[in-house]
Amino acid sequence: MKRILLLSCTATVLYLSLTSSSNGPSLTGHATAALGCDNGGSCHGGASSATTATLILIEQSTGDTVKDGKYKPSEPYTVAVAGSNATATHYGFMLRASKNSAADQAGSFANPTPSMYTKTQPISPSPFTVFEHKAPVPAMSNALEATVQWTAPATGTGDVVMHLSVNAVNNNGNTSGDQWASTSTTFAEKPASVASVNKSDINIFPNPVSNTLYINANKNYQYTVVAINGSVELNGNSNQIDVTGLATGMHILRITDGQNVQIFTFNKL
């Protein structure tokens, strides 16, 4: 299996090692998220238009995709990371959230999925913690799909820049044929909502799921299933959801009892 995915590049050196990123690209620094490897040269096959890198910010209290380019301070969000490449068998990636000055971490990451292949990783001695692969992420229909919870920074932080680099690999045992892409999105600060979301012990199972997704609760919930691009796929009022017709990959589930809202992610097999 190919052991090398994304590596950080500095202003003067392109550092390449066959073992340095076997547990994720952060072993060589957080700059990969913003720079990829195109800094005076190329590695992993170089940047390519054949690979796409996309990040989507989803407000957890409502399940709505952020479309106005603004975040609410201290509010929880889901960041959906996506990539595509017609020939990829696996992916590496790194996501970084920074204050507009790019000198410090903005908010915090937690609960990475799929947990088998992804992690949140502090980058010492820098102030950053990134969301990245910890093992090559298998492509699902040639695509990358992963999510992480992001708690927005406190009031007064200002603009937040999210940088994402995605590396599509062909698993041929070396860097030839690898094709990476990077993107960035700036989110402006807006006044925090006074609304709060109550927590509970509700969960969903099985996850991943092939046919029926169950909501573990003592009453029926109104549910909405949303694709990672924000489009609504299913609606209903039941604790058993037939997901047979959904596409393979990651989806977002929003449930509510009319007062409280909870957001989950699940993978359709």
Please state which of the four CATH numbers 1.20.140, 2.60.40, 1.10.405, 1.10.10 is assigned to the domain occupying 203-268: 2.60.40
pLDDT at residue 34, rounded to an integer: 72
pLDDT at residue 90, rounded to an integer: 92
pLDDT at residue 195, rounded to an integer: 39
Cis peptide before 112 (omega within 30 of 0): no
pLDDT at residue 12, rounded to an integer: 24
- Integer Cα distance of 19 and 28 in angstroms: 11
- Fold exhibited by the domain 25-189: Immunoglobulin-like (2.60.40)
pLDDT at residue 220, rounded to an integer: 82
pLDDT at residue 109, rounded to an integer: 96
**What pTM was estimated for this model as a whole?**
0.68
For the chain, where do the domains classified as CATH 2.60.40.4060 start and end? 25-189
Give me the tens of pLDDT residue by residue for the chain, a chain 269 residues long: 333 344 333 222 222 222 224 456 655 567 777 766 544 344 555 678 889 999 999 988 788 889 899 999 888 999 999 999 998 999 989 999 999 766 899 999 999 999 899 999 998 888 899 999 998 899 988 899 999 999 999 888 999 999 999 989 887 767 777 888 999 999 999 874 433 334 456 889 998 899 999 998 888 888 999 887 677 899 999 999 999 999 988 888 888 877 777 888 888 89
pLDDT at residue 26, rounded to an integer: 57
